[in-house]
Amino acid sequence: MHDRIHHEGLLERRMSAEQAAALIKPGMTVAMSGFTGAGYPKAVPQALAVQMEEAHARGEDFQIKVLTGASTAPELDGVLAKAGGMELRLPYQSDPTLRKRINDGELEYIDIHLGHVAQYTWFGFYGHIDLAVIEVVGINEDGSLIPSSSVGNNKTWIEQADKIILEVNVQQAAAMDGMHDVYYGTALPPHRKPIMLVNPDDRIGEPYLRLDPDKVIAVVETDAPDRMTPFAAPDETSTQIAGHLIDFFGDEIKAGRLSDKLLPLQSGVGNIANAVLGGLATSGYTGLTAYTEVIQDGMLELIRDGVIRVASATSFSLSPAGIEEFNSNIEFYRKRIILRTQEISNHPELIRRLGCIAMNGMIEADIYGNVNSTHVAGTAMMNGIGGSGDFARNGFLSAFLSPSTAKGGKISGIVPMVSHVDHTEHDTMLIVTERGLADLRGLSPKQRARTIIEKCAHPDFQPLLQDYFDRASRESFGKHTPHLLDESLSWHHRFVETGDSRPAVPAQV
């Protein structure tokens, strides 16, 4: 382990995870590393959860506020949620135990754009950060840190926190040294300057995280892998969705709006995203670029096969097989992958300048193109908005992808009015389901509605949506964006009441 810690003073601050966790006190605001199950601290949160449970057994309160880069894993979010140890969490999560706590109203959760987290922290919007717990690959002689498998908000956490606990994890490949690009040119308004990045493979920062060693109160040695559940292989529905989008790209190339190199790709995680990436490979694309948040298995394969020339992100999101592939060929991948801070990977100025093609999932879209990507039935949090808004509002193209139905056909992915709005119709260019692709560019609200119903709705729901739109067009208070306010959310109400959004008597059209 000592070959990972080259700063003599920090060698002397080594201690057990239990000793380090004891330095975290009730009521603290604690910022932790981690982004989509990569690069999160593995040992200290688990030890802290045990101490929280012991305190609760004694009748003592022990909760903290937790800030991260994005979702983490059961060893962090899961154990702290199970212990009842979080009073507040932000900005994104995917742990089922944590999600249940949030939806049961047992802890506060702030869902925000991932590109906003760092700057809002600098602005002081989240108050004082008492302590940061950061996983790293190693510590250099000058105290600078080799980042781990995610960079996320770690630069900001290290700068803003009073004290720091470091986890040095030998499971993370030492050969990642040099793969990262940490930008230190940010400033508070009105002193900001342009960020000089014009290509996805530009390096504008440093390979290491700067550190004031005097702030470090503990160094914990760990040997534990990132834990990420493999995504299911693309099914027929995902493949059909991908096919519609790939066909659209071909049409855009013929129309002269895209070249055969497309534009930098941003892709959410999951089997639909992997299906799209796979479709690019089978369609013969080469030399593409990605400017995105995460590198998942599908993108790793495209880099290996030359479909993607370079990929910029803030984190990996690899299955165990993907991690093995990366580690086995790390010298190849380190020349083609750049991991940046989250404030740069999700920066709106850069996304707009590069002209990213944003491809993200959704829970539902309404007939006018408003998208709900976070709340089931408008009230129950799924995971969070993540970075989808950063890219959808600022990208050259913004596509939202989803099956046309869920819950065995009981729920439509296309509804009269979304129950919660994350992305307004103004930020939505493409809606894609297995039924087809609705190109909403240049369309008025009523034109959008006709297109979405025709192209994207499932046949079981298409007559219902058409009936609603026809009646709304006649009876709505205003005719620009026709709605029947007394029934626009009735589908969601039926689902909450019965578990099925379909009416007992189908519409006759």
Extract the tokens encoding 45: 């949160």
d(CA 110, CA 130): 19
> Please, are residues 34 and 76 in contact by the beta-carbon 8 Å criterion?
yes
Q: What stretches of 315-444 show up as alpha helix (H) in DSSP?
A: 320-328, 330-333, 342-345, 348-354, 388-394
Q: What's the gap between Cα 197 and its chain centre?
A: 22
E strand or H helix that includes residue 32: strand 29-32
| DSSP codes of every residue in 124-152 | TTT----EEEEEEEEE-TTS-EEE-SB-T
φ/ψ bin of 287: left (φ > 0), alpha (ψ from -120 to 50), beta (otherwise): left
Q: Is the dihedral of CA 307, 310, 314, 320 positive or negative?
A: positive
Q: How far is the CA of 56 from the CAs of 49, 82, 108, 343, in angstroms?
A: 10, 12, 19, 37
* Best CA proximity match to 114, nearest among 69, 156, 155: 69
d(CA 171, CA 135): 11
Terminal Cα-to-Cα distance of the chain (whole angstroms):
71
Q: Is 293 a catalytic residue?
A: yes
Whether the bond into 200 is cis, omega within 30 of 0: no
Q: Which is the catalytic residue, given 293, 343, 364, 434? A: 293
Beta bridge mates, 439 = 430
Q: Beta strand 357-361 with 397-401: parallel, antiparallel or unpaired?
A: parallel
Give me 216's structure tokens. 């470090």
**Whether 231 contacts 297, CB under 8 Å:** yes
- The 10 Å CB-count burial string (b at 16+, else e) for 244-282 is bbbebbeebeeeeebeeebbbbbbbbbbbbbbbbbbbbe
Quote the DSSP letter at residue 505: S
* CA–CA gap between residue 369 and residue 213 (Å, rounded): 50
What does the block give as tokens for 360?
A: 């993200």
Q: In what order do the strands lie in the sheet with 414-415?
A: 371-372, 364-366, 414-415
Give the phi and the psi of residue 407 in degrees, each rounded to 5.
55, 50
Largest Cα–Cα separation, the chain: 78
Using a 10 angstrom Cβ sphere, with 0-12 exposed, 13-18 middle and 19 or more buried, the burial of residue 214 is exposed
Residues annotated catalytic, as ranges: 293
